[in-house]
Amino acid sequence: MVNMSTKNYREEVAASYKNVRSVTPLVICMTNYVSMDLMANVLLACGASPAMVSSIEEVKDFTRISNALLINIGTLSPDQVASFKAAAEEAVACGKPWVLDPVGCGATPYRTNICNLMLGYKPTLVRGNASEIIALSGALGKLCFTSRRLIVII
Rounded mean pLDDT of 49-54? Answer: 95
| Per-residue model confidence (pLDDT) at position 64 | 97
Which string of DSSP letters, residue by residue, matches 48-60? -EEEE---HHHHH
pLDDT of residue 139 exceeding 80? no
**pLDDT one-digit tens code per residue, 54-109:** 999 999 999 999 999 999 999 899 999 999 999 999 999 999 999 999 999 999 99
Report the distance separating Cα 32 and Cα 72, nearest Å.
6
For residue 30, the cross-strand partners are: 71
pLDDT of residue 12: 83
Share of the chain above pLDDT 90, in %: 66
User: Helix 56-65 and helix 78-94: axis angle, to 10°?
Assistant: 20
Whether residue 14 has pLDDT greater than 70: yes
Q: In this structure, how many other beta carbons lie within 10 angstroms of the beta carbon of residue 131?
A: 13
Spatial separation of the C-alpha atoms in residues 21 and 13, rounded to whole Å = 12
Banded model confidence at residue 154, pLDDT cuts 50, 70, 90: very low
pLDDT, average across residues 21-50: 93
Q: Average per-residue pLDDT in the chain?
A: 87
What is the band of 13 on the pLDDT scale with cuts at 50, 70, 90? Answer: confident
Are 7 and 48 in contact, with CB atoms under 8 Å apart? no
CA 100, CA 136: separation in Å to the nearest integer?
Answer: 11
The three-class DSSP label of residue 101 is strand
At 127, is the secondary structure helix, strand, or coil? strand
Write phi, then psi, for 96 (nearest 5 degrees).
-90, 140
Instruction: Return the higher-pLDDT residue of 100 and 8.
Output: 100
The percentage of the chain sitting over the pLDDT mark of 70, rounded to a whole number, equals: 85
pLDDT at 147 over 80: no
Tell me the residue type at 122. Answer: K
pTM of structure: 0.83
Q: What residues have CB less than 8 Å from 63, skipping those under 6 apart?
A: 28, 53, 69, 86, 87, 90, 91, 94, 96
How many C-beta atoms surround the C-beta of residue 22 within 10 A? 9
